Amino acid sequence: MKKNIAISIGDLNGVGIEIAIKSHKEVSKLCNPIYCINSKMLTRALELLDKKAIKDMKLHSVDGDFKIKPGKVDASSGKYSYSSFMSAIKLCEEKKADAVVTLPIHKEAWMKAGLEFKGHTDLLRSHFKQDAIMMLGCKEMFVALFTEHIPLKEVASSIKYKKLKEFFIHLSRSIPKEKVAVLALNPHAGDNGVLGDEELRITKAIKSANKKVGFEQFLGPLVPDVAFTPHTRSKYSYFVAMYHDQGLAPLKALHFDESINISLNLPIIRTSVDHGTAFDIAYKSEAKTLSYMNAIKSAIEFAK
């Protein structure tokens, strides 16, 4: 029996709706997609894309009526992407959908709409009152982020033993059998305190978490500049990065088109494309669909 997947359509001024429309036929073979958008806004998007209406698209109507402005940061489209996401979450909470797949939002548009959240994951944490974990990647390599959208100057002070230990334990519950390589923060993994003492806290958290989960699941801290070499990646598919760019720069260099974003440690399943709104190509029929298709497939897999 095919799963019901709620699709949050993202910022309508970007490429999300084009990706959803392009992929609908293929997605429908895998699951029952439920698009969180009203018929009026879908019709406007189809007209801009010079596409005909798709008769079998199942819509979950989301209130909203505004002009789509391709490639523009706009409060109305920001608010609508938020409403679409909240509608998709509600479908899961009401057991009308088995998972949520999100298309890209624009953080500045959310800010212009007066929303306090920095993005999907931030909203999920607030809504469910749980520490959602952001993990990105594909089957070849996944990277979970300990810190996410914070200034680089705040990362070192954020690495606290208790918080990191809890992060490892929460991650283990989502991927209980996988070996996980943990990156150090400092060059040369701190050289035993010569280049920084954060690794002492990371090491302590690794040991404590491994004791809690009952086996050596977490290994490290690894020297960051060799953590993603072919040799290391041949041994590990899962990594924990201490900050955003430390993990995502190598991931996107290696697997940009196919990577996805998964929110772990939540009562619902949420996967997403691992790219932005791509305003520069919005409504030009140039958007790629691979990341979205992988997000759909992962949502179905996690929903089993």
Domain count, the chain: 2
Q: Considering only CA atoms, which of 191, 138, 146 is closest in space to residue 171? A: 146
Do 156 and 217 share a domain, yes or no?
yes
Do 89 and 5 share a domain, yes or no?
yes
State the CATH number of the domain containing residue 44.
3.40.718.10
Do 8 and 107 share a domain, yes or no?
yes
Structure confidence at residue 270 (pLDDT): 97
**CA gap 177, 182 in Å, rounded:** 16
DSSP helix/strand/coil, 265: coil
Q: For the segment 244-279, what is each residue's pLDDT rounded down to a tens digit?
A: 999 999 999 999 888 999 999 999 999 999 899 999
Can you read off the two tokens belonging to residue 224? 């960051």
Per-residue pLDDT tens digits of the chain, which is 304 residues long: 899 999 999 999 999 999 999 999 999 999 999 999 999 999 999 999 999 999 899 999 999 999 999 999 999 999 999 999 999 999 999 999 999 999 999 999 999 999 999 889 999 999 999 999 999 999 899 999 999 888 999 999 999 999 999 999 999 999 999 999 999 999 998 888 888 889 999 999 999 999 999 999 999 999 999 999 999 999 999 999 999 999 999 999 999 888 999 999 999 999 999 899 999 999 999 999 999 999 999 999 988 7
Contacts 24+ apart (CB under 8 A), 221-225: 221/182, 221/183, 221/184, 221/185, 221/189, 222/181, 222/182, 222/183, 222/184, 222/189, 223/184, 223/187, 223/188, 223/189, 224/183, 224/184, 224/185, 224/187, 224/189, 225/187
Do 177 and 258 share a domain, yes or no?
yes
DSSP run (H or E) holding 272: strand 270-273
Beta strands (DSSP E) in 162-269 are 180-183, 218-222, 238-241, 260-264
Structure confidence at residue 118 (pLDDT): 83
DSSP run (H or E) holding 125: helix 120-128
**CA gap 115, 166 in Å, rounded:** 28
Structure confidence at residue 160 (pLDDT): 96
Domain of 48 in residue numbering reads as 1-130+266-304
Structure confidence at residue 29 (pLDDT): 97
**CA gap 156, 122 in Å, rounded:** 20
Do 77 and 186 share a domain, yes or no?
no
